[in-house]
Amino acid sequence: QKEVEQNSGPLSVPEGAIASLNCTYSDRGSQSFFWYRQYSGKSPELIMFIYSNGDKEDGRFTAQLNKASQYVSLLIRDSQPSDSATYLCAVNLNKLSFGAGTTVTVRA
């Protein structure tokens, strides 16, 4: 079992819709969870981090963490074409484990 798993997509949503990305992880002791956005040919950019169960909102982004079920999700509200990118889920920090990424395409 991979340490971090994501649906590779692509996930296509119309402009203005909600994009929902999911991530599951295997290490039940994981404490830190991150979402990075990576545009083609660019390095990853940290967009959200969450440490506690529940929801965390930042602008149009909401991260949701459920440690009992070992999943973390990212919601992008009012999706814009500029949100089209690959989104990487990452878990822990001593040795950060990345998912393979979910490619999101927002249709204008």
Partner 1 sequence: GAVVSQHPSWVICKSGTSVKIECRSLDFQATTMFWYRQFPKQSLMLMATSNEGSKATYEQGVEKDKFLINHASLTLSTLTVTSAHPEDSSFYICSARTGTGREKLFFGSGTQLSVL
Residues 6 or more apart from 51 whose CB is under 8 A from it? Answer: 31, 32, 33, 65
Q: In this structure, which amino acid lies at residue 11?
A: L
How near is the Cβ of 91 to partner 1 at its closest, in Å? 11
Q: Which stretch binds partner 1 (CB under 8 A): 9-17, 53-61, 77-85, 95-103?
A: 95-103
Q: Under the criterion CB under 8 A, does residue 43 sit at the interface with partner 1?
A: yes
Q: What are phi and psi of 16, to 5 degrees?
A: 90, -10
Query: Quick one: 18 or 52, whose CB is closer to partner 1?
Result: 52
Q: Does 44 bind partner 1 (CB under 8 A)?
A: yes
Q: Compute how many residues bind partner 1; rule: CB under 8 A.
A: 20
Q: Should residue 88 be labelled a site residue for partner 1 when binding is judged by CB under 8 A?
A: yes
**Window contacting partner 1 (CB under 8 A); options: 9-17, 18-26, 57-65, 88-96:** 88-96
- Whose CA is closest to 88, among 102, 74, 77, 70? 102
Contacts of 2 (CB under 8 A, 6+ apart): 26, 99
- Please state the closest distance from residue 16 (CB atom) to partner 1, in A: 28
Structure tokens at 78: 């009012």
75 beta partners? 20, 62
Q: What is the DSSP letter of 64?
A: E
Task: Give contact residues for partner 1 (rule: CB under 8 A).
Answer: 32, 34, 36, 41-46, 49, 51, 88, 90, 93, 95-96, 98-101
